[in-house]
Chains A and B, each alone.
Chain A
Amino acid sequence: MDTQALPKVLIIEDEESILNMYKFKLEKEWFEVFWAKNGEHIMDIVNESQPQIILIDIMMPVVNGFQALEIINTNISYPAKKIIFSNLSRPGDFEKAKLLWADDYYIKSNLMPKELVSKLKLLLSE
């Protein structure tokens, strides 16, 4: 399969082992996966990889998920789906995500790998 035609997903996640797991599953399901360790210099990676979907963890060092989302919102030049992807669901987190134009909020522990894949595929078909 031509790698140019694969849907691109950018995962912003500080935990490498978790990232590797997502990467493994998504690549198996024919996604091209990019990775950023946190929100720092995020626009460089976004501009370079041009992902259709950006999965953003919240709890990250240096620049956290919400800050990263804000940076992306202000600087991105094309429509991309931005999804908060975290186990954190403190009071107010959902509201904050909504205010920052996140397209969805996934709770990691509630989603099985195959469910994530089907959700992302559905999102791409919209």
Chain B
Amino acid sequence: MKHTKNTQNFLHQISFKILLLASFAILLWALSFFFVMIPKFEEWLMEKKREMLKEVVSIAYSEIESINKQYETGKISLKQAQDEAKYHINNLRYWPEKKDYFWINDITPKMIVHPYRPDLIGKDLSHFQDKKWKLLFVEFVTVAKKDGEWYVDYMWQWKDNPHHIVPKISFVKEFKPWWWIIGSGLYIDDVKKDIANTIKHIVIIISSVMTIVTLVSSYAIWISFKIEKNKNLAEQKLIEKEKQYKDFIEHSPIWIYRRGKHNEILLANPSFYKILSTYLWEEVNSLNFLKKIQSDDTIIQAILTSQDIANKELKWVRKDGSEIWLSLNVSVKINHKWEVEYFDGIIEDISDRKKVEEKLKELDDKKNEFIGIVSHELRTPLTSIKWYLDMILDGDYGEINQQMKETIDGVYHNSDRLINLVNDMLDITKLEAGKIEFVYEKFSLNQVINQVFETYKNIAKEKNIEFVLDLNNDVFLYTDKQKLSQIIINLISNACKFTLSGWKIILKTLIVDSHVKISVQDSGIWIAKSDYETVFSKFGQVSNLLSDKQKGTGLWLSIVKELLLQMWSEIHLVSKVWVWSTFSFSFPIYKE
């Protein structure tokens, strides 16, 4: 904002100076126009008028001269010639208004011709004075006699009005053969009026032109100022934006750089000082850091082929010897010739994140170890309880009666459930830790399914559940037989748990192209779509009134999910409200 204000002030100062200068120039021009040019012009015009006067008198003179020629050649008498000349000059007029005339007097001086003063004709004018007591006819004769022709200023009546006396200038010329003096005069006022009129027109034209020029130039100046102002504002904004970006980049905790194709750094923010624990730019260059971390062909290939961003995490030993983890993201700019132009990269210190990840991993390992030990500690006493009960039931300690048998049977099954729970917990822990070993072999699918069926048909029967087997042709699979068996058992166990007495479970195989789909359908509690994920989480059984009554570990399905994932398969669930739920998964059919 401060910059903008300064710019505005500057602009105001400049415009004020220019205006002052322009006003001064106009004033100077006006002064010279009125005080130099106009008087000069007036002088020039006056001169023109005088010349014109001289010319018209010369014309009249030549008229008389031509008449005199007629007399000299004897065509007419002197009197005839002089009468014709008198008549002719008396009627001669000029100027647009035809008010200007000629007069003739002789050198006596006596008036010979005057169109407006017939009273003076024939009279002696040697004592005729104008208003200023000038003996003007004597002057005419004197001037004419002296130089042959010249101008005389005097006062005279306005045309035929003897009461209106005005200044006049006349030109007189002597016609020697007859001792006549021919003259004609201009009213000075007429001339002045004429000049004033002309000047008025000139002033109007010049003023109009000046006004237009002033307006146009003012508009041009205004527009250019406006443009200049906008340009300055835009520049200011650009500078501010650039500064913002610069600040943003410079203060970024991430190292941002642009690297040329020859490993030279074209642009970079100073974060590398912190990241590499160095103080000098030269050090960064000498470390050849970028070359080392980017020379990896895989990363270059990755960006070149995908035309996208490649990511890499790497360990770096800093100048001070400490180790850091760096995350590098690089993109590449390819030009139209399909050549690498430059690389843009960001490098981030991810040591803290790595530490947390390592810590988490350590904690996870500890958790798994803990669960393993706890499971063992739980299993040992539980096993011994189960053993004792089994031995009692077997009659190892002597005969027992029916009531005792039933009671101990109950205790036996409950301890069995506890052991299963502990086993499941152990399984899922190991699965999640990725520490279950898979033994791959070729086997018959139907054989495995039949074994499971044989074991579970009685359990289903006890619950009054119909267990239906619906198998396609037998196929061979190549996977872990035991784990597959466990998956099917877990799904059947789950189905048994949730299917009510009198309903049925269907264990089905279906060959679809190169895969076999194995599914377990129960008529159990419905599962809402939103609960699909919960079903597979640890202890994440769908909670409702009916299911709360059911007993189970809730780990069966999460074990199934984990096992299938590690066997490159996936569990699917489809449920129809209050009718059935189907869990299914597929394996590729083994072909020799």
Taking a contact as CB atoms under 8 Å apart, the answer to whether B376 and A59 are in contact is: yes
**Which of chain B's residues has its CB closest to A86's CB?**
B376
User: Known: A109-B379, A109-B419, A114-B394. Contact between A21 and B387, CB under 8 A?
Assistant: yes
Task: Give the CA-CA distance A15 to B387 in the complex, in Å.
Answer: 14
Range class of the A interface residue count: 20 to 34
Shortest B233–chain A CB gap in Å is 71
Central interface residue in B386, B387, B388, B391, by most chain A CB within 10 Å: B387
Task: Give the CA-CA distance A88 to B375 in the complex, in Å.
Answer: 8
Interface majority SS (helix, strand, loop, mixed), chain A = helix
Taking a contact as CB atoms under 8 Å apart, the answer to whether B380 and A18 are in contact is: yes
Taking a contact as CB atoms under 8 Å apart, the answer to whether B387 and A91 are in contact is: no
Task: Give the CA-CA distance A96 to B376 in the complex, in Å.
Answer: 17
Chain A residues with CB under 8 A of B369: 90
Question: Does B292 sit at the interface, judged by CB under 8 A?
Answer: no
Chain A residues with CB under 8 A of B390: 112-114
Task: Give the CA-CA distance A91 to B375 in the complex, in Å.
Answer: 13
Taking a contact as CB atoms under 8 Å apart, the answer to whether A91 and B433 are in contact is: yes
Shortest B395–chain A CB gap in Å is 11
Taking a contact as CB atoms under 8 Å apart, the answer to whether B391 and A113 are in contact is: yes
Proximity string of chain B (426-452) to chain A, C-beta cutoff 8 Å, 1 when within and 0 when not: 100010010111000000000000000
Taking a contact as CB atoms under 8 Å apart, the answer to whether B430 and A25 are in contact is: no
Shortest A110–chain B CB gap in Å is 8
| Residue in contact with B386 in the complex, picked from A15, A95, A109, A114, CB distance below 8 Å | A109
Question: Does A47 sit at the interface, judged by CB under 8 A?
Answer: no
| Residue in contact with B387 in the complex, picked from A28, A90, A92, A113, CB distance below 8 Å | A113
Question: Does B302 sit at the interface, judged by CB under 8 A?
Answer: no
Taking a contact as CB atoms under 8 Å apart, the answer to whether A108 and B380 are in contact is: yes
Shortest B394–chain A CB gap in Å is 7
Task: Give the CA-CA distance A71 to B40 in the complex, in Å.
Answer: 140
Central interface residue in A15, A21, A28, A90, by most chain B CB within 10 Å: A90
Task: Give the CA-CA distance A95 to B369 in the complex, in Å.
Answer: 17
Chain A residues with CB under 8 A of B372: 88-91
User: Known: A88-B372, A88-B376. Contact between A108 and B435, CB under 8 A?
Assistant: no
**Which of chain B's residues has its CB closest to A95's CB?**
B437
| Residue in contact with B388 in the complex, picked from A21, A28, A94, A114, CB distance below 8 Å | A21
Chain B residues with CB under 8 A of A28: 396
Shortest A61–chain B CB gap in Å is 14
Question: Does B77 sit at the interface, judged by CB under 8 A?
Answer: no
Chain A residues with CB under 8 A of B423: 109
Question: Does B482 sit at the interface, judged by CB under 8 A?
Answer: no
Shortest A97–chain B CB gap in Å is 13
Question: Does B383 sit at the interface, judged by CB under 8 A?
Answer: yes
Taking a contact as CB atoms under 8 Å apart, the answer to whether B391 and A25 are in contact is: yes
Proximity string of chain A (15-37) to chain B, C-beta cutoff 8 Å, 1 when within and 0 when not: 10110010011001000000000
Chain A 45-94 interface residues, beta-carbon cutoff 8 Å to B: 59, 86-92, 94
Shortest A23–chain B CB gap in Å is 12
Chain B residues with CB under 8 A of A21: 384, 387-388, 391
Task: Give the CA-CA distance A113 to B436 in the complex, in Å.
Answer: 27
Task: Give the CA-CA distance A28 to B395 in the complex, in Å.
Answer: 12
| Residue in contact with B430 in the complex, picked from A91, A109, A113, CB distance below 8 Å | A91
Shortest A124–chain B CB gap in Å is 21
Shortest A36–chain B CB gap in Å is 18
Chain B residues with CB under 8 A of A89: 372, 426
Task: Give the CA-CA distance A112 to B416 in the complex, in Å.
Answer: 11
Question: Does B382 sit at the interface, judged by CB under 8 A?
Answer: yes
Range class of the B interface residue count: 20 to 34
Taking a contact as CB atoms under 8 Å apart, the answer to whether B396 and A87 are in contact is: no
**Which of chain A's residues has its CB closest to B384's CB?**
A18
Task: Give the CA-CA distance A91 to B268 in the complex, in Å.
Answer: 49
**Which of chain B's residues has its CB closest to A112's CB?**
B390
Proximity string of chain B (373-408) to chain A, C-beta cutoff 8 Å, 1 when within and 0 when not: 101100110111011101100101000000000000
User: Known: A59-B376, A108-B380. Contact between A92 and B396, CB under 8 A?
Assistant: no
Shortest A109–chain B CB gap in Å is 4
Shortest A121–chain B CB gap in Å is 16
Chain B residues with CB under 8 A of A25: 387, 391, 396
Task: Give the CA-CA distance A59 to B375 in the complex, in Å.
Answer: 13
Proximity string of chain B (536-555) to chain A, C-beta cutoff 8 Å, 1 when within and 0 when not: 00000000000000000000
Taking a contact as CB atoms under 8 Å apart, the answer to whether B435 and A91 are in contact is: yes
Taking a contact as CB atoms under 8 Å apart, the answer to whether B391 and A15 are in contact is: no
Chain B residues with CB under 8 A of A15: 380, 384
**Which of chain B's residues has its CB closest to A22's CB?**
B387
Task: Give the CA-CA distance A68 to B388 in the complex, in Å.
Answer: 27
User: Known: A15-B380, A109-B386. Contact between A24 and B435, CB under 8 A?
Assistant: no
**Which of chain A's residues has its CB closest to B379's CB?**
A87
Shortest A55–chain B CB gap in Å is 14
Chain B residues with CB under 8 A of A113: 387, 390-391, 394, 396
Task: Give the CA-CA distance A114 to B388 in the complex, in Å.
Answer: 11
Task: Give the CA-CA distance A18 to B394 in the complex, in Å.
Answer: 18
Taking a contact as CB atoms under 8 Å apart, the answer to whether B380 and A87 are in contact is: yes
Proximity string of chain A (90-120) to chain B, C-beta cutoff 8 Å, 1 when within and 0 when not: 1110110000000000001100111000000
**Which of chain A's residues has its CB closest to B388's CB?**
A21
Taking a contact as CB atoms under 8 Å apart, the answer to whether A24 and B376 are in contact is: no
User: Known: A24-B396, A91-B433. Contact between A108 and B391, CB under 8 A?
Assistant: no
Taking a contact as CB atoms under 8 Å apart, the answer to whether A92 and B391 are in contact is: no
Central interface residue in B368, B384, B436, by most chain A CB within 10 Å: B384
Chain A residues with CB under 8 A of B382: 109
Task: Give the CA-CA distance A17 to B383 in the complex, in Å.
Answer: 12
**Which of chain B's residues has its CB closest to A28's CB?**
B396
Chain B residues with CB under 8 A of A18: 380, 383-384
Shortest B432–chain A CB gap in Å is 11
**Which of chain A's residues has its CB closest to B378's CB?**
A87
Provide a sorted-by-A list of 8 A–B residue pairs whose CB atoms are within 8 angstroms.
A24-B391, A87-B376, A88-B376, A89-B372, A90-B372, A95-B437, A112-B386, A114-B394
Known: A87-B383, A94-B437. 9 other contacts (CB 8 A): A18-B384, A28-B396, A87-B379, A91-B368, A91-B430, A91-B436, A109-B422, A113-B390, A114-B394
What residues of chain A have their CB less than 8 Å away from a CB belonging to chain B?
15, 17-18, 21, 24-25, 28, 59, 86-92, 94-95, 108-109, 112-114
